[in-house]
Amino acid sequence: MAYDALNVADIVAGKPTKEELFTKIRDNQEQFNTDIQLLQGTAKIDMFDIKFTGNISQYTTAEISTFVPIFKAPVDATFVSVVVTLLEASTSGTLELEIEKSTDNGVNWTPLLSSPVQLTGTTVGSVSGSVSWVDVPSQSFNQNDLIRIQFTGTQVNQGEFHVSIYGELS
Amino acid sequence: MSFNSRTEYIEAQASEKITIAHVEARQRVLPFVSHVANTYKKTVNNYVIDVYNGTTQLTVGTDENSLNSGEWYYDASSGLLYVNIGANPSDSEIIATYCLFYSSAPITLTADLTDLGVDVEYEGRIKRSPGFKHKIGIEQKLVSIIGNGSLKLLNNDGGLDEIFDRYIFDNQNVTIYSWNRDLPISDSRILYRGRITNKRYNTEFVSFDVKDELVDLKQNVDLSVFGEDETVNESVKNNYKRKVYGRVDGLKLQSTDQIGEGYSISGDFSGSPGSKELSVAGGQALTELSPDDKILIGTQEFTIETITSNTLIEVSKEPDYAFTNQPATVVPKIPTTAKNREFFVADHESATVTKTLSSIKQFNRVVLDNVDGLFSGDFIEFATGERVEIKNFAPGNTVVLRQNLIQLPTIGSNVTRQPVQQVFIAGQKVDDDDFTITNSTDTRITLDSDVEFNLAKLEQFNFSLTFTNGSRVLTTTDDVDLKEILNPRDYVRPQQLSYTTYYEVLSVDTQQITLRTNFSEATITDDVEGKRPEYIGDDTVISANVLGKTVDGTATGEWISDAPTAIKDLLTEAGLTEINTTSFTDGAASNDQIISLALPLKPGAVSITYKSAIDKLCISTNSVVTLDNNLDIKYKILNAEMPENPVEITDYDVISWDMETVSGKNIRNSIISYRPQDIDRFTQEEGARVVTFSSDFVEKYVGTNETEEKTIYLYNDTDAEIFAHRLVYNQSLGRTDLTINTDLRLEDIEIGEVVILDFQRMFKRLGSNASRKKAMVVVGKKLDGSRTQLDLTDYGNIFNRSSIITPNTAPDWTSATEDEKLKYGYITDSQGIVNDEEDTANIHLIS
């Protein structure tokens, strides 16, 4: 249903508060919400889309973390997807990463997850499990906040993997 | 004279009005004599309508010669009562309920007042009868007032002397009818139905005080208690189990496996004087016990000092006397995960909301068949096993999820919302994977044994330890007192990443830690990290957000979310059967406010009456429970709604009327507490949300700054805000009450009905200089068979001031009639005026 403008003549003083007037207002409001949802759904913010390759096992988790660029939020938004995919088989163990946010230009960092994102599968194509945020506000960030990934664990003979994190407008 | 209809009868001013009464009474009957086989008979003096064997109600049979066991039959022509209980009823407690027939004139009528029933004699003893009298307590904030009256029977002939004391009249039913002998008896009209609450006797009269059926609501809500079959402490035993209506957040849960005075542990204990060591055959001491725990063996209590192995412990004192292979109980110093795992939620199955997945728009946008019973912040479970939080809703039953689904579920599969969500231990939210719900007969949750561990934060400690493969002992050379940092049941591990296993601490010394199990990885000296869980004890506060009862009592039934449905459930539970179900269905359709009520109101509190519970729901939703013209219980919302064709009452319809305006109770401010919680997550105390409102209108025109505070049992913020506004709106102006006395012409008007008054000498109403017509709502009614008295109120003039959504055919203001201006709402200019008419100020308001 398309937007249907209210007829100015229907909303001048002395006009009855007709049922059809309220129905039109309701329909328009539903249309606005539908449009907003459509825009929110399509306006994704790509934050991290990184393939980790090479001899990963030779690096510590701290070193791997420093290789990842820090994301500076261009708008207020909410995380909606955090997925780690194994592209090359590992031997055993768990690949773990934490997501942290800074609201003071990197002076202090706050963990956003109540437990790290974990990739426990070691075969090609294994993906990480569900994400658990500390609380609802932790899943959102404001314009100019800094977001970074901190690896807290890698698999034995860590294979190549891909990290995809994106959000959408709040 | 004969009447073709009740309307003719009403219009005949001089017609005879006969009052009829059915009075019930009970009496034990015996002895019986044999009739046939197991059927026995007894002559009784009154018409029998019900028979009990003790507390078991018997079934009425079809005739005296074919009664099955458990049946009775009464032959009105012979006055014989026949009973078959499979044995001689003289040896049992057979109780008959009689119906005694009275009228205001001696007459023969059918017992059931149908045209084809059994004829019985109605004794002409009625001197005075209670009329239908019921009233909504507007002064009492919409509380239904229990009606009462008196049935006065002539006894100057001593005819009631025989039965006054010998029959049991207490709490028995009385039904009063109005009739004219020129009408078919089936046209008699019920005037009153109630229960006898008192009786009086003198040589002239016998009278019965009668209260209407709402008196049954004065009984307490039926709640069961925590009993001996639950493992709860003495202080909890006999506390009421809760019932939940709607959605209640922060509901305090009750542990049903508390530690109390201790619980059994594994193994058989042996000890003797002269040694502090106790052996534990078959024991699991390393797992189950910790230093400073207290164990009770027989009558001897010990404090544990050291746990040497699973089968050997050392206690703080030698035994006073020897014991061999004795069981023991323990009261742990630090609570353990062996107890306080099962928690009682509600004494009924709770609503599990199940939807069907219609389509998937995006990974975080799914469309369901409907979204009733789902809230932002809820977790819903998909057929893939994924559990995702709802962020918000979009048009078309679209649910926006907080994060993407990892696996896409099949279209048409179920999506489930569990009734218990957001479980908190103290203020910490428990992961939904860390508890399970049992929702059969009642609702309980069981916490996983690792829930405290999972909630504890991983900490890096500022000391190192040497972890030795195959040893339980960890040592440090750092300048640290480990006893100030760690306790038994904490967990430690080396910080190095390849060490992923946590080890539980058994005991702590200044420079040494003993584990419960051997360290099984490569020996290492490393900085230490670990967790220090807060274990759940008997006094730990556990709370949860809960969806309550369902209509049919099953977990998958329709969730009781609104006030009318909850009230109907309470009425049914209270045993009331005469219910106007349509009014409750209509009420639910036009009132989708979600309620939030737990009974009793607080954990461990006393129960409340059904009436009190219903009143709370009525007040919260601006509605009332009253009686319709059939004396069935009716639900009515008292918002400013106007029927398209309201009844119009003129001077010709009334004998007299009296009007009074009540001022002095105007308020400007409201402070509304809503969504009451046993436990506020953040304060860990009882709490509620609060919304306030102040009226500019009252400030300008009335000048008072009075405030009213109220607690309501609604869940949603918007509903509470509307309530805060309406409370002030309804009390912003004085309330005009009107009493009308007339004959039977207005007998069909029901309580809750909005009518228009058009009296010659009434003041001009607010909003019009041309009309004296005024809209009011009926809040009370008295009907005695010949007269009708109506109590009406304008409820703060809301019907004249509120803007009503009009039909699409409503005319513009300039061409509307005075009646249409009274009924309809109109758009105002920026000054709140219509057509520059000063009388239109302060009407056409959104209520």
Which tens digits make up the pLDDT trace of B354-409?
999 999 988 899 999 999 889 998 999 999 999 999 999 998 899 999 889 988 99
Q: How far apart are CA B686 and CA B712, in angstroms?
A: 15
Say if the Cβ atoms of B398 and A37 lie within 8 Å: yes
**Average pLDDT rounded to a whole number, residues B159-188:** 87
Indicate if A30 and A65 belong to the same structural domain. no
Q: How far apart are CA B337 and CA B334, in angstroms?
A: 10
Which range (B14-18, B240-244, B283-287, B780-784) has the least confidence? B14-18
How are strands ordered across the β-sheet holding B18-28?
B56-57, B47-53, B94-103, B18-28, B173-179, B189-201, B205-212, B148-154, B126-128
The answer as to whether A88 is a domain residue is yes
B497 touches chain A (CB under 8 A): yes
Per DSSP bridges, beta strands B623-627 and B254-255 are unpaired
A170 touches chain B (CB under 8 A): no
B719: left (phi over 0), alpha (psi -120 to 50) or beta: alpha
The confidence score (pLDDT) of residue B703 equals 84
Say if the Cβ atoms of B824 and A16 lie within 8 Å: yes
The confidence score (pLDDT) of residue B159 equals 86
Q: Which fold has domain B263-334?
A: Elongation Factor Tu (Ef-tu); domain 3 (2.40.30)
Which range (B39-43, B94-98, B640-644) has the least confidence? B640-644
**Average pLDDT rounded to a whole number, residues B776-805:** 81
Residue B796, pLDDT above cutoff 80: no
| Segments making up each domain of chain B, as ranges | 17-217, 263-334, 457-531, 645-662+734-847
Best mean pLDDT range from A75-79, B15-19, B779-783: A75-79
Task: Report helix, strand or coil for A167.
Answer: strand
A126 touches chain B (CB under 8 A): no
The confidence score (pLDDT) of residue A122 equals 94
Chain A: nearest CA to B809, how far in angstroms?
Answer: 8
Say if the Cβ atoms of A16 and B813 lie within 8 Å: yes
Residue B138, pLDDT above cutoff 70: no
**Average pLDDT rounded to a whole number, residues B20-48:** 94
Residue in A with minimal Cα distance to B403: A80
**Average pLDDT rounded to a whole number, residues B267-273:** 95
pLDDT, tens digit (0-9, with 9 covering 90-100), for B760-779: 766 665 556 556 677 888 88
pLDDT, tens digit (0-9, with 9 covering 90-100), for B325-334: 999 999 999 9
**Contacts A32 to B, Cβ<8 Å:** none
The confidence score (pLDDT) of residue B136 equals 67
Q: How far apart are CA B424 and CA B443, in angstroms?
A: 16
For chain A, the first-to-last Cα distance in angstroms comes to: 25
**Contacts B803 to A, Cβ<8 Å:** 17
The confidence score (pLDDT) of residue B189 equals 82
Map tokens 């591990």 to a residue: B493
The confidence score (pLDDT) of residue B130 equals 65
Closest CA to B769 of B835, B826, B832, B697: B835
The contacts of residue B101 (CB under 8 Å, 6+ apart) are B20, B21, B22, B47, B109, B111, B120, B121, B122, B123
Residue A132 is given by DSSP the state E
Q: Which fold has domain B457-531?
A: Elongation Factor Tu (Ef-tu); domain 3 (2.40.30)
B806: confidence class by pLDDT, cuts 50, 70, 90: confident
Q: How far apart are CA B560 and CA B244, in angstroms?
A: 9
Best mean pLDDT range from A13-17, B204-208, B544-548: B544-548
Task: Share the mean pLDDT of chain B.
Answer: 89
B427 touches chain A (CB under 8 A): no
pLDDT, tens digit (0-9, with 9 covering 90-100), for B648-670: 888 888 888 888 887 667 899 99
Interface list for B 402-421 with A (CB within 8 A): 402-404, 406
In this chain, the answer to whether the domains covering B263-334 and B457-531 adopt an identical fold is yes
Q: Which of A13, A37, A130 sits opposite B828 (nearest CB)?
A: A13
% of chain B at pLDDT higher than 70: 94
**DSSP annotation string for B97-152:** EEEEEEESS-EEEETTSSTTS-EEEEBS-EEE-PPEEEEEETTTTSEEEPPEEEEE
Q: How far apart are CA B655 and CA B174, in angstroms?
A: 30
**Average pLDDT rounded to a whole number, residues B613-639:** 88
pLDDT, tens digit (0-9, with 9 covering 90-100), for A109-130: 999 998 889 999 999 999 998 8
Indicate if A93 and A155 belong to the same structural domain. yes
The answer as to whether A157 is a domain residue is yes
For chain B, the first-to-last Cα distance in angstroms comes to: 52
Residue B473, pLDDT above cutoff 80: yes
**Average pLDDT rounded to a whole number, residues A38-62:** 89
Residue in B with minimal Cα distance to A37: B394
Say if the Cβ atoms of A37 and B394 lie within 8 Å: yes
**Contacts A41 to B, Cβ<8 Å:** 361-362, 364-365
Number of domains making up chain A: 2
Say if the Cβ atoms of A37 and B825 lie within 8 Å: no
Indicate if A33 and A55 belong to the same structural domain. no
The confidence score (pLDDT) of residue A123 equals 95
Tell me phi and psi for residue B83, to 5 degrees.
Answer: -135, 140
Which range (A115-124, B429-438, B798-807) has the least confidence? B798-807
Quote the distance between the C-alpha of residue B261 and its chain's center.
35
Q: How far is CA B190 from CA A125, B468, B623, in A?
A: 77, 90, 25
Chain A: nearest CA to B429, how far in angstroms?
Answer: 9
Say if the Cβ atoms of A37 and B395 lie within 8 Å: yes
The answer as to whether A149 is a domain residue is yes
* Helix-helix angle B581-590:B563-573, to 10 degrees: 150
pLDDT, tens digit (0-9, with 9 covering 90-100), for B722-764: 999 999 988 888 788 889 988 877 888 888 888 888 877 666 6
The confidence score (pLDDT) of residue A136 equals 80
Interface test with B, best of A45, A60, A130 (most B CBs within 10 A): A130
* Helix-helix angle B563-573:B610-620, to 10 degrees: 170
Residue A149, pLDDT above cutoff 90: yes
Closest CA to A166 of A1, A13, A50: A50
The confidence score (pLDDT) of residue B143 equals 59
Residue B310, pLDDT above cutoff 90: yes
Say if the Cβ atoms of A22 and B388 lie within 8 Å: no
The confidence score (pLDDT) of residue B664 equals 63
The confidence score (pLDDT) of residue A147 equals 96
Indicate if A22 and A49 belong to the same structural domain. no
The confidence score (pLDDT) of residue B659 equals 82
The confidence score (pLDDT) of residue B776 equals 87
In this structure, what token pair is assigned to residue B644? 């398209």
Residue in A with minimal Cα distance to B498: A153
Tell me the sheet residues that pair with B756: B648, B775
What is the complex's ipTM, to 2 decimals? Answer: 0.82
Beta strands in B18-60 (DSSP E): 18-28, 33-36, 39-43, 47-53, 56-57, 59-60
The confidence score (pLDDT) of residue B641 equals 74
Which range (B12-26, B449-463, B611-625) has the least confidence? B12-26
Interface list for B 749-778 with A (CB within 8 A): none
Beta strands in A37-160 (DSSP E): 44-52, 71-72, 77-86, 95-102, 110-111, 113-115, 117-119, 132-133, 140-141, 146-153
Indicate if A130 and A159 belong to the same structural domain. yes
Indicate if A96 and A136 belong to the same structural domain. yes
* Structural domain span for residue A144: 45-169
Indicate if A29 and A108 belong to the same structural domain. no
Q: How far apart are CA B277 and CA B307, in angstroms?
A: 10
A46 touches chain B (CB under 8 A): no
Interface list for B 584-613 with A (CB within 8 A): none
Indicate if A55 and A134 belong to the same structural domain. yes
A141: confidence class by pLDDT, cuts 50, 70, 90: very high
A23 touches chain B (CB under 8 A): no
Indicate if A150 and A69 belong to the same structural domain. yes
**DSSP annotation string for B734-796:** PEEEEEEEE-GGGTT--TT-EEEEE-TTPPPPTT-SS---EEEEEEEEEE-SS-EEEEEE-TT
% of chain A at pLDDT higher than 90: 61
Indicate if A74 and A134 belong to the same structural domain. yes
Q: How far apart are CA B595 and CA B570, in angstroms?
A: 14
**Average pLDDT rounded to a whole number, residues A14-32:** 90
Q: Which of A17, A37, A127 sits opposite B827 (nearest CB)?
A: A17
Chain B: nearest CA to A150, how far in angstroms?
Answer: 14
